Chain A
Amino acid sequence: MSSTTDHGAGTDGTPGTPPSTDDARSDRLEWRLTIERLSSYWLLGAGLFAIALFGLIVLTLVQQSIPIVSEHSLLEMVTSSNWDPAQEEFGFLPAIVGTIYVTVLSMAMGTPIAILAAIYIAEYAEGRTKMIVSSFIDVLAAIPSVIFGLVGLIVVVPFVGDYLAPALGAHSIGLGIVTVSLVMAIIVTPFMISLSVESLEALPDELRESSLGVGATKWETIRSVLLRAAGPGIFSAILLGFGRVFGATIVPAMLIGGQTAIPDNPFDAGETLPTLIVNDFGELMSLPLTQSALILVGLILLVIVWLFNFGAMLVRRRLKRRWQY
């Protein structure tokens, strides 16, 4: 190797070589510039492909929903609680109520825990403890949902049916909205913790020093300075958790009990928009209008998630401006 390099260095010195290196260099430059020009095209292509894919999905859903919308009014379906495809009754209200129940309950349980745990890990835990706790949280976040569903069946269902519901004076068979909410909270909390820890740890130490430097305590610093500065990031973390709960399919399908009526209370069995789609999937072939109805449910799900992301973007931008540092 080294002898070749030496040899090359030697020939460089001879009078004949410089023009040929210049030629080689300009050829190379030509080639590099060609790649540079082309790269903008294929990167644009990749970007357009992503947009086209989204457009295609929305278009397909809209086109496939037309049959049901032309026979039943959207308002009627959204407000009706009667779901009976055989009688051509398509009421989404129970699924909508179930989805709202599950989302609100699991976010209400998960969010405070996620924020407190994130503060502990980012600001209080040190050394080994910090390493162990945060690696456990990462492991939890990596477990497939279906495993949580199985463990939920074995542990959470009897817990809710035999202990929690009776303790709160309700009746429950164990499967139901509360059970799903509990398990979903367990699933999304590690996610929200990891992301919140990241945004807290990304804050410059100067913020901490500035606040402690005027005599604030650690807790005052966290409450008035760090939580605000990391606020947009934590907000995003919570929103990501929200999106996961809202669109969760496998855990609700396993644990919610699949009842197509409006639940009387959170301990009741019920359904969510995704479980409605999954559970009635088998009937698609025989009843064409049902297929269209289920696709409409998918479209509604998509639109709500999209609206939420859009709203969140606006809120996030506001928070960022207000709490900039």
Chain B
Amino acid sequence: MNNQPALRTDNLDVTYTGNRTVTALDGVSVDFAENALTAIIGPSGCGKSTLLKSLNRLHEIQPNAEISGEVHFGDQTVYNTDEPLPELRRQIGYVPQTPTPLPMSIYNNVAYGPKIHGDYSRKELDDLVETCLRKVNLWDEVADRLDDPGAALSTGQIQRLCLARSLAVEPEILLCDEVTSALDPISAEQVEETLESLKEEYTIIMVTHSMDQARRLADDVVFLYLGELVEANDARTFFENPQADRTKEFISGHGASTHLEESDSSDSGAKPDEQQESAGDEPAPVQQ
């Protein structure tokens, strides 16, 4: 599609050496296209999040991760490089699965990154915060309470706040780790809309356990199974004319995606959260 991929992994191996050695990624070589949304799918525990975090070296906060291979980011390399890690991570942003506000005001959640990286005047910072909050369709909801703590927002709003926080440091790539899995359906839809609008400007790489979501949003799909790359293709070919047998099996087996979602969320322990979430959030739409 595009002339050069935004990110390219080259024979990436990641091994966790704790009490027992686990190979999380095994020789993964894959391209991520620029200004497109790539979905990484696969069953639980097959290395999706590891692949995502290894793209900006966030897996390194775990003490026992060993990695070999390389990630190419434009002309730069991510691993054997002189570029300082913070600068690399500014360019390749990350939004975690659990909506995580930083312990500060809504305004400062967005201004946190810019304040670290540059000398902005108060006015410039105000404008930047507004721009970013508008990009994630959150400005109208929070404009009159920017000084409230970020954690005072609803989970769905927090997740969009997290997106705005990442956008504020002007990244080129956004890594999103199952960003809708902890949200109720309505908030999830809003976040999806936001991602949809962002992919024109940014390269988005997103882990998802929902095949439906991949179908709706993705331009390209990367399918991992037990740490190995099974198939990487544009979304249309992937879903309508899968090449690998395992992909065919996976797509037909989880055609409705409900089965996969269920087993996925109960595995990761996210289900009680989801239930709480919908229990707490459902009355709101009814009142409207």
Contacts and interface: CB of A to CB of B under 8 A. Distances in A.
Contacts of A216: 86, 112-113, 116
Given A228-B104, A323-B103, A212 B89 contact: yes
Interface in B161-209: 162, 165-166, 168-169, 175
B97 A214 contact: no
Given A214-B165, A225-B102, A220 B116 contact: yes
Contacts of B94: 209-210, 212-213
Given A214-B90, A215-B113, A324 B100 contact: no
A217 B85 CA distance: 8
Interface in A193-232: 204-217, 220, 224-225, 228-229, 231
B58 A207 contact: no
A207 B116 contact: no
Contact of A207 (B89, B100, B166, B175): B100
Contacts of B175: 213
Interface of B: 53, 56, 58, 61, 63, 86-91, 93-98, 100-104, 112-113, 116-117, 149-152, 162, 165-166, 168-169, 175
Contacts of B152: 324
A169 interface: no
A126 interface: yes
Contacts of A215: 86-91, 113, 116-117, 169
A207 B102 contact: yes
A207 B100 CA distance: 6
B95 A217 contact: no
Nearest to B59: A209
B113 A212 contact: no
Given A205-B61, A325-B103, A325-B151, A214 B168 contact: yes
Contacts of B53: 209
Q: Which of A205, A215, A220, A228 has the most CB of B within 10 A?
A: A215
A212 B169 CA distance: 12
Contacts of B58: 209, 212-213
Which of A208, A209, A325 gathers the greatest number of chain B CB atoms within 10 Å? A209
Contact of A210 (B86, B88, B116, B162): B162
A321 B117 CA distance: 28
A206 B56 contact: no
A89 B101 CA distance: 60
Contacts, number: 94
Nearest to A228: B103
A230 to B, nearest CB: 9
Contacts of A225: 102-103
Contacts of A205: 61
Range of interface residues on A (Cβ < 8 Å): 20 to 34
B166 A209 contact: no
Please name the 5 residue pairs, one residue from A and one from B, whose CB atoms are nearest each other, closest first.
A215-B90, A213-B94, A214-B113, A323-B103, A324-B151
30 contacts: A126-B63, A127-B63, A204-B98, A209-B96, A210-B95, A210-B96, A210-B165, A211-B112, A212-B58, A212-B61, A212-B89, A213-B58, A213-B89, A213-B95, A213-B96, A214-B165, A215-B86, A215-B87, A215-B89, A215-B113, A217-B86, A220-B116, A224-B102, A224-B112, A228-B103, A231-B103, A323-B104, A323-B149, A324-B149, A325-B103
Nearest to A325: B103
Most buried by A among B58, B101, B103, B149: B103
Contacts of A214: 89-90, 93, 112-113, 116, 165-166, 168-169
A25 to B, nearest CB: 30
Nearest to A215: B90
A322 B94 CA distance: 25
Given A206-B96, A207-B100, A215-B116, 10 more contacts: A204-B98, A206-B97, A209-B61, A210-B102, A212-B58, A213-B93, A214-B112, A214-B168, A216-B112, A216-B116
A211 B58 CA distance: 11
A231 to B, nearest CB: 8
Contacts of A229: 103
Contacts of B56: 213
A134 to B, nearest CB: 14
Contacts of A212: 58, 61, 86, 89, 94
Contacts of A325: 100-103, 150-151
Interface in A104-118: none
B93 to A, nearest CB: 6
Contacts of A231: 103
Contact of A213 (B98, B117, B166): B166
A249 to B, nearest CB: 38
